[in-house]
Chain A
Amino acid sequence: MPETSRRGLLFGTAAIGAGALLTACTSNEKKDEPAANEQPVDDKPGKAVTIGFAGPQADHGWLAAINANARAQAKKYSDVTLDITEGSNDTAAQIGQIDSLINKKVDVLVILPADGKALTQAGLKAMRAGIPVINLDRIFADPQAFRCYVGGDNYGMGVNAGKYIGEKLKDKPNATVIELSGPDSLELTKQRTQGFDDALKNYPNIKKVARQAADFTVESGQAKMAQLLQAQSKFDALWNHDDDQGVGALRAIDQAGRDGFLMVGGAGAKSAMDAIKADNSVLKATVLYPPIMASTAIDLARALGQGKGVSGMAGLEIPAQVTLFSAVVDKDNVDEYLPQGFS
């Protein structure tokens, strides 16, 4: 995950006119569809482009949504052919898949590596073969391995979750929050936690009193949340890094018969958005890590393949990095984001 890209690229993102992006960036603007073509990148049919797509095994709702978004976006363009390889979490297997896409001489490659560092060489190889690479979500170790990086903002997720909770609790003296994080083995978990802690520093009346790491699974979410509830007889807010494990966390909260606190989720699953809309549980908001970044990657891959810039943006070329905004979805704006919620 990019440390460098965060701030500067929010600007770049905002400037891109794609409707899909706009929806993610500007929470106050009304949009019906996540990819409404009000201000298209340039959707007039152009030169035919074949985009190769190599992603990891979709063993999680978010990754399944990435694949679905990539397919849907590619289908919008009559000039785009999408060549998707079978997902694998095995580094060697994914390298082989990228090799096969290089051999097929696709015009542009979109790669969401199972492990960014481990797949760097595969990215370099494609670039050397003259195929521009769009690196999605998990960043390669070498900037030469990609032409453009498209990803989400994990640090920003933490910041926005912290800000949201902070604003809700800022008038409450001695407020306490707890955190149910993702797996500690992942860099993105550290970034989310760091962002959260940094944001809470702005609210001296709020103290984080406990944190447990779950594994992005329902089962672990239930188990770890049950423990947290046992350990903390009272607290004011909970930030849960992931809506999939949030299904389990909500179940544990329900089983323990607990309420009287505010819960904020992460990632943007449909089940979470439904619960926010229904407003009948402690879950009041979720911070996006939007899978529509796959649609963005397809848009940019197409522009690359056709040798175009992006309309609405100064410059002849597409940007080097695009980082999507981690918007907070709560009851007030959930209807706008619901179509983006993944199951």
Chain B
Amino acid sequence: MDLSPTTQLEMQRRMLRIRRFDERASRMVKRGQIPGTVHTSIGQEAQVVGACMALGDGDYMSGNHRSHGHPIGKGSPLGPLMAELVGKATGVCQGKGGSLHLADFAVGSLGESGIVGSSIPIATGAALSSKVLGNGKVSLAFFGDGAANQGCLYEAMNLAGVWKLPVVFLCENNQYALSTPAHTVTSGVIAERAAGFGMPGVRVEDGQDVLAVHEAVVEAVERARRGEGPSLVEVVTYRFNEHSEGLRLGTDYRDASEKAAWVERDPIVLFRQRLEREGVASAEELDALEAEVMAEVDEAVRFTDESPYPDPSVAFKDLYTEPIGAIA
């Protein structure tokens, strides 16, 4: 796949944004600076960015509980996302959503979801809207290997199949549903399940390679845009950190050597090596890019720190489009 140097550098930039943002969030939640828990995408950046950058700016995307990478991958600025994690008024959801429920409609991010599988029908519906209105937009639904066993995925694939909706079902197979290895709860190969719905299903075995993911998703997006209907793309990847940070889960269910082998295949390191090797960018340029991204994250934290908490009265706002009377 022939991608311009600008596009390739943008891929690296977005992967770095996810990594540095999540590293910072991980530290902040451990220090009590972020309430609740966060679920990081560290290790899965190639899969997130490869997929998101296969979409156009106007296209839609819905996500899941591993939730920061998707809007960042779609191009959302970091400040309001970080402010949302802390619960500030300037947060992308004004402090109503938090880490699990980030949404940034300005970049087509229709929302992350704390309920496994629950946002798959949302992206499917966005595709229905594109089809009825004829606006050419494509939707992408991110979900994990755990959600691959939720019935709503199959209801959605069937509906999208019969209506030929422009939607891409993207399974982020990081091989664990919290502590449960996918192979112990998932029968067969997820990508092969597409055949039952008469749609293409592809498995990207190397989900650490941003270009491999990108290529597979571009094909699915183009097919959707041509009016040929949905596709399923399964990407095999790995999360480097705990399922959830801020909770002390306390059991080591993953083999240390397995984890070490995946950490060896850090998607950001791999892509940097490729960019240098192929002369897309020099080491100095790539160092500068990393510094720029680090500065963006610092700025996001500064923006968050300087932002106020929401006024308590806002707790009753936006339940309905207009207040409906006594609810307090």
**Are both chains from one complex?**
no
